[in-house]
Amino acid sequence: MIKYLIFAWLTQDFFAVVMSDAILIPDIYLMCIIFWSFSIKDAPMELDIFLIWAAFVGGLLWDLRWIGVPGFFSLLYVFSFLCAKWIWDLFPKSGQTVMVFFLISWGVQLPGFIISLYLWSVKTALYLQLFLLYQAYSIPLAAFFSLLFARRVKMRNV
Amino acid sequence: MVHAVAALSASLFLLGITPSLETRHTIVNIVGYVLYVPEYPAMIVRNIAMTLSNWFIGRDELNKKIEDLSKEVELLRIENSAMSSKITRMEFSVPTEHAEVVVRNPDSWWSEIRINAGVSNGLDVGSPIYSGGFLIGRISSIEGNFSWVELLTSSSLMLPIVVEETRDLGVIGGDGEGNVWLHYVPENRGIKEGMTISTALVGNKLPPGLRIGTISGESIISPNGFRSMRVAIGADLSKLYSVSFIKPEGVGQ
């Protein structure tokens, strides 16, 4: 799992380097953490503890590489993960469907986007344009991880 | 639950202490060093993508010519500055070198950038850094292959300058929000919009005569009779993907 998380972080960093900044970068790392947390059936408590600290470390590294203020994205990632986990656990096992996974994984990217707007002092006039651009990658990303989740659930049930 | 609270607290603690932490740059540098290797392919992809996009819009050749001409103009401007002031501390027969901007943090967007050139490229603390032939800042701290550049728009960088048309001396300083102001200019000196400003004699690292930009129309008058005029710097700091510097002869050859 660690190697997947490292790969996800480096992929996210790859996009940030290619686009020369970190404004509109998909939160692949956070999505990966959520995927691992939700897709393992009857996951032990140790897994969630590991993922909380993975979110912290990944966010901290992102801060040190792109933001310059350690604590910003580590707080965001940990908080987003905890919120996602809390919402997920509100549903009974039978209700933890691919659609719910999709909605959570789409919604969990919103705080990062909003904070990025603030951090990079984006002009208000560009909010709508950037939001639409953000949808162009956040929805496919959520759909991609939902497909992975669906595949994993199917394999689990075979 | 305990781990969740601990991770959130640790994040908040870091947020609270780091603005005043002296070692923040060092930590960012270490992370930059470690990530330089895995990010190298991404930088290549970025350069290829930029070249391809130019090619697709059919302006590649034109851009290349403009780029070559810009480099030539840049070199001529610097040479001219140094020759006119009779100071030739560097060998200008060597073309300018380029460096990529590898870090530009949002909280210090108008204050500093990190470039992938350092001591090994012949740079030193105080060395001038250019973009498009105009001075954009100077090296504030340096390592082997990387250095931090303090931008003209930084509120902590003050540079003595000269208005070329009137030979009036003044000081420019940034406000940390993307603006540069010319300070200490007496109101009756007849300095007008469009006049060119360049560096005055500062020290052995920053020769006089380096072009900075022009005076813009906006001005503020202080209570003691001095005028602060806004400076339109020649380089576009909003599109700072790469910078240039002069590599002294013999370095890295």
What pLDDT digit, counting tens, does each position of A87-130 carry? 988 888 888 888 999 999 888 888 888 877 777 777 777 778 88
pTM summary value: 0.66
B48 touches chain A (CB under 8 A): no
- Please tell me which of the candidates A20, A70, A79 has its beta carbon nearest to residue B46: A20
- Our CA angle for B24, B30, B34, nearest 5°, is 145
Mean pLDDT, residues A39-47: 80
* B24 compared with A60, residue with greater pLDDT: A60
Give how far A73 is from chain B: nearest CA, Å.
8
- The chain-wide mean pLDDT, for chain A, equals 85
Q: Which of B173, B160, B169, B158 is nearest to B231 (CA)?
A: B173
A68 touches chain B (CB under 8 A): yes
- Our CA angle for B129, B227, B212, nearest 5°, is 15
Q: Find residues 104-123 of chain B whose CB sits inside 8 Å of chain A.
A: 104-109
- Please tell me which of the candidates A13, A17, A72 has its beta carbon nearest to residue B46: A17
CA distances from A129 to A24, A122, A123, B37 (A): 12, 11, 11, 34
| Contact list, A56 vs chain B (CB under 8 Å) | 7, 10-11
Q: Note whether A20 contacts B16, CB cutoff 8 Å.
A: no
**Contact assessment for residue A5 and residue A28, using Cβ atoms and an 8 Å cutoff:** no
In sequence order, the 6+-apart residues with CB closer than 8 A to the CB of A56 are A74, A77, A78, B7, B10, B11
pLDDT by residue for chain B (253 residues), tens only, comes to 788 888 888 888 888 887 666 677 777 888 888 888 888 888 888 888 877 776 776 666 777 778 888 878 877 776 676 666 545 444 444 467 888 888 888 778 888 898 888 888 888 888 889 888 888 998 988 888 889 999 999 888 888 888 888 888 888 888 888 888 888 777 777 778 888 888 887 666 677 788 888 888 777 777 666 778 888 888 888 878 888 887 765 555 4
Q: Note whether B7 contacts A71, CB cutoff 8 Å.
A: no
Give residue B96's pLDDT.
73
Give residue A1's pLDDT.
77
